[in-house]
Amino acid sequence: MLSYQIGNPTPDDLAHGLWAYVDANGQLSFTVRAGGDSEALATFGSGRDMFDSLMLRLNNDNVNVSSIQGQWYFNTDGVNAAQYQSAIESGLSPSDAAFSTWTGSQVMRYGFNFVTVPEAQGGIIKPVFQQVQGETNGDH
Amino acid sequence: MATIKEYLLSGLRPSIAIREVAKSRGELSSKELIMLLDEELNGIPPTVANAIANWNRKSGSMQKCAGLNDLQFDDAVWGDLNAAIARL
């Protein structure tokens, strides 16, 4: 498993950074948190900055990312789960709701245009984003 | 020193088992914990690594905190940890 780190996203530490893992199948999973102070923001950048840095580094390392798995925790301060839940409650499909999140909008910029959203289990939902030609989301 | 596998098989919840491992090795950082579990489990499941990155170990079982409290952490990793141990 390949791993990458920017800063330290752990909430009881710096609370600002990104950790990412790519498994043997090319599935990328990552945690990003941008809750640090102005110094952390100046040093490591915003969440989007850190995600872009990760994608650039993966490209430079010739790492082929076949899919991106989210891991979103309900009833926490996690942004994605709250955005997903809000979108579902407003009537969006699970796929459209997944793309309406912070992570969904980031991965869409890199061509990950299809998502599979399994049922949430134990307060966690794990959508998997992929690049599929001719698709706009996973509702087809 | 006991391993994470031994602690879990003794019936401890993952949050307690991992705390014991971290304490016995001199209060490991989250990053060090991930590396240790990666070694002990012959590859840490990414879901477990992500949960550790989101785990607020200072929170205990408080319901509201930044990141995951202990109960949320246990829910996030228990199944994948058991599966990883079963594969050893």
Q: Do A76 and B68 touch (CB under 8 A)?
A: yes
**Span A7-66, pLDDT tens digits:** 999 998 899 999 999 998 999 999 999 998 999 999 999 999 999 999 999 999 999 999
For testing the chain B interface, which of A16, A18, A21, A72 should be mutated: the one with the most B CBs within 10 Å?
A21
Chain A residue with Cα closest to B49: A21
Amino acid of residue A15: A
Distance CA A63, CA A36 (A): 29
Cβ–Cβ < 8 Å for B46, B37: no
pTM for the full model? 0.90
Q: Do B54 and A5 touch (CB under 8 A)?
A: no
Amino acid of residue B35: M
Q: How many CA atoms lie within 13 A of A96 on its CB side?
A: 10
Question: Cβ of A42: how many Cβ atoms within 10 Å?
Answer: 9
Chain A contact present for B46, CB below 8 A: yes
The shortest C-alpha distance from B85 to chain A (Å) reads 17
Distance CA A108, CA A110 (A): 5
- CA quadruple A47, A98, A11, B43: dihedral sign: negative
Q: Which of B31, B46, B66 sits opposite A11 (nearest CB)?
A: B66
Chain B contact present for A93, CB below 8 A: no
From chain A, the residues in CB contact with B44 under 8 A are: 1
Model ipTM value: 0.84
**Span A3-14, pLDDT tens digits:** 999 999 999 889
